[in-house]
Structure 1
């Protein structure tokens, strides 16, 4: 009986993961919703404004469910390891979450997560996630794990949604590189 429960649980997790991939939100070419919100970089508060960031080139906006959870910590760490490569290709990385927002100052400076290498936005009430169709289906007040590449002109070039955090960096980095070569993400 225990083995059947394990198989059923694995099936449910797999179904949720597939549903998450299938729900990648805004389509390529769609104008990215503008937003301005409280953020932290290396523990220091500031206001992040997407329009201002786009003046410097493309922006990777990656939504994650909650600070200081295992998958989100891994994803933040992977982005922090690759942030210099994103910068080499002219892109800014910004993390956005509606979960555990009171922990973002520490999350932004922790070397096991962002390490002060990129900013994270506090999405109180999941307002931004809702605009980007990036709400976590099983916990609608939190952000889904969805990553976007927004062109300097403010349109979506690439969207990727998967609860598994391991491919978000490669997916978005490939899309940023494609922008340089005039290809769609």
Structure 2
């Protein structure tokens, strides 16, 4: 009976877990332009232009001002100077609560003005990165992005695609991939 209960619990948890997808490592990351905000100030983020300056660390998050997304933004904010020291551009992208992104980008409890966040109405960018939020039992993706992080080389090659709805490991994963890529570049 205990085994049956454990299997039923596992099945319920699995059904409630988002099904995530991402671009494969080694594939070409799509370029895009999007309305973005840095410390509350609007600008247009241009992925192609950002890549010309070095690697890009981009993370998709479901929605501004939700528990996990606030934590993730805060953790990226704490590491923003280290990403910059590694020569990387850091950008967050979301389809959720885009009307509050200016505020979110400046909030000291989230981004703290340390890196920009881009609006993705309808999760159009997330879909080109194969990162829309997909829920088990729902046929069509909702218009939100999954919690998926990418490290993209200046030539557009995806160096890391990391899916995890838990917010606390994305900084470690992206920083590790960035440092590994930089170490390879030094050896060339």
TM-score, with length taken from structure 1: 0.88
Which stretch shows the higher mean deviation, 67-76 or 133-142? 133-142
The root-mean-square deviation of aligned C-alpha atoms, in Å, is 1.9
Q: Residue by residue, what CA displacement relative to the aligned partner does 1:28-63 show, whole Å, maximum 9, x if unpaired?
A: 111100000100000000000001111110001100
Which position in structure 2 is the counterpart of 1:16? 17
- Cα separation, 1, equivalents of 2:30 and 2:146: 17
- Cα separation, 1, equivalents of 2:68 and 2:36: 20
Which position in structure 2 is the counterpart of 1:72? 69
Q: How many equivalent residue pairs?
A: 174
More strand by share: 1
Which position in structure 2 is the counterpart of 1:101? 98
Q: Secondary structure at the match of 1:141?
A: coil
Q: Could you tell me which runs of 5 or more consecutive residues in structure 1 were left unpaired when the two chains were aligned.
A: none
Which position in structure 1 is the counterpart of 2:85? 88
Query: Higher Cα Rg: structure 1 or 2?
Result: 2
Structure 1 counterpart of 2:154, from 152, 155, 162: 152
Structure 1 counterpart of 2:168, from 160, 166, 176: 166
- Cα separation, 1, equivalents of 2:12 and 2:172: 26
- Cα separation, 2, equivalents of 1:9 and 1:142: 25
* CA displacement at 1:125 relative to structure 2: 1.1
Q: Could you tell me which runs of 5 or more consecutive residues in structure 2 were left unpaired when the two chains were aligned.
A: 136-140
- Cα separation, 1, equivalents of 2:48 and 2:11: 41
Which position in structure 1 is the counterpart of 2:138? none
Is 1:46 the equivalent of 2:43? Answer: yes
TM-score, with length taken from structure 2: 0.87
